[in-house]
């Protein structure tokens, strides 16, 4: 992420309105046999949208994110709702100081920002250490098809009359990665537009590679499914979900 991430944090929620966070809560509820009263580690929590929904369902939530600006928004959101969520700034591949959690989640392709295979393994190992025996990890990643095919169909545009962007994509420097340059235009009260720019790089791996890394970290695989449905991934699936257990 670049230095304008504080500006990105201010528009992030508006750009994520199509994400079915309630469906994610239901997935976690099923994985944990009920999340009420459970300790949940929300890794890559961003502005706390999922953390808040989990806390509203009675979970004891701790949110982790690399961005202090995102966490500032998350803290403000939780405070405004009187929800006792703890937020901590850490990179997921260096996660430390956590133990005894019932569930960990890395939602909405946050793991795809970890570009090195060794760092993905380190993330899984740290999460494994943070969970209690029998605890679950649920995460999703972009499929190879989405990274290699769909993202390469750019540029993409968006305009909702307050926020507009032009999103240009190119192949990244490593296999199955995408390099994105986004120019945002945010309408101010004066009617003028403020521009800021973002650079993002994401990478994904084959499903079998994730399975190998998860098993090396000590997890057992419970199910792998795609696109919010309880169905096995196919060659044109876009979002792959993993549910694993310590």
> By residue range, what is the domain housing residue 182?
146-203
Q: Within this chain, do residues 13 and 122 fall inside the same structural domain, yes or no?
A: yes
Q: Within this chain, do residues 224 and 115 fall inside the same structural domain, yes or no?
A: yes
Query: How many structural domains comprise the chain?
Result: 2
Domain harbouring 197, CATH code: 2.20.25.110
Q: Within this chain, do residues 225 and 179 fall inside the same structural domain, yes or no?
A: no
Q: Within this chain, do residues 224 and 104 fall inside the same structural domain, yes or no?
A: yes
Q: What is the DSSP string of the chain?
A: --TTHHHHHHHHHHHTTTS-HHHHHHHHHHHTT--TT-EEEEET-TTSHHHHHHHHTT-EEEEEES-HHHHHHHHHHHHHTT---EEEE--GGG--S---EEEEEE-TTGGGG--SHHHHHHHHHHHHHHEEEEEEEEEEEE-HHIIIIIGGG--EEEE-SSEEEEEEEEE-SSTTEEEEEEEEEEE-TTS-EEEEEEEEEEE---HHHHHHHHHHHT-EEEEEEETTBSS---TT--EEEEEEE-
Q: Within this chain, do residues 64 and 162 fall inside the same structural domain, yes or no?
A: no
Q: Within this chain, do residues 97 and 185 fall inside the same structural domain, yes or no?
A: no
Low pLDDT (below 50) residues in the chain: 1-5
Q: Within this chain, do residues 132 and 227 fall inside the same structural domain, yes or no?
A: yes
What's the predicted TM-score (pTM) here?
Answer: 0.94
Q: Within this chain, do residues 92 and 190 fall inside the same structural domain, yes or no?
A: no
Q: Within this chain, do residues 94 and 199 fall inside the same structural domain, yes or no?
A: no
Q: Quote the pLDDT of residue 15.
A: 87
Domain harbouring 79, CATH code: 3.40.50.150
Q: Quote the pLDDT of residue 6.
A: 58
Q: Quote the pLDDT of residue 4.
A: 39
């Amino acid at each position: 992420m670049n230095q304008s991430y504080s500006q990105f944090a201010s528009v992030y929620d508006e750009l994520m309105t199509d994400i079915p966070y309630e469906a994610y809560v239901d997935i976690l509820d099923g994985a944990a046999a009920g999340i009420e009263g459970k300790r949940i580690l929300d890794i890559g929590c961003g502005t706390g949208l999922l953390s808040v929904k989990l806390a509203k369902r009675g979970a004891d939530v701790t949110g982790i994110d690399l961005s202090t600006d995102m966490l500032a928004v998350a803290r403000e959101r939780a405070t405004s709702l009187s929800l006792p969520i703890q937020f901590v700034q850490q990179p997921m591949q260096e996660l430390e100081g956590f133990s005894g959690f019932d569930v960990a989640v890395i939602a909405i392709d946050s793991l795809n920002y970890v570009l090195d295979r060794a760092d993905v393994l380190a993330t899984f190992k740290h999460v494994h250490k943070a969970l209690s025996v029998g605890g679950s990890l649920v995460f999703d990643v972009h499929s190879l098809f989405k990274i290699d095919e769909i993202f390469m169909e750019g540029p993409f545009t968006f305009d909702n009359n307050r926020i507009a962007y032009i999103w240009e994509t190119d192949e990244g420097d490593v296999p199955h990665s995408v390099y994105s340059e986004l120019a945002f235009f945010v309408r101010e009260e004066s009617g003028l537009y403020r521009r800021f720019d973002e650079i993002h790089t994401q990478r994904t791996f084959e499903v079998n590679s994730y399975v190998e890394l998860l098993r090396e970290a000590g997890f057992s695989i419970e199910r792998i499914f795609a696109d919010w449905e309880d169905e096995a991934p196919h060659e044109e699936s876009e979002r792959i979900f993993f549910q694993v257990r310590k």
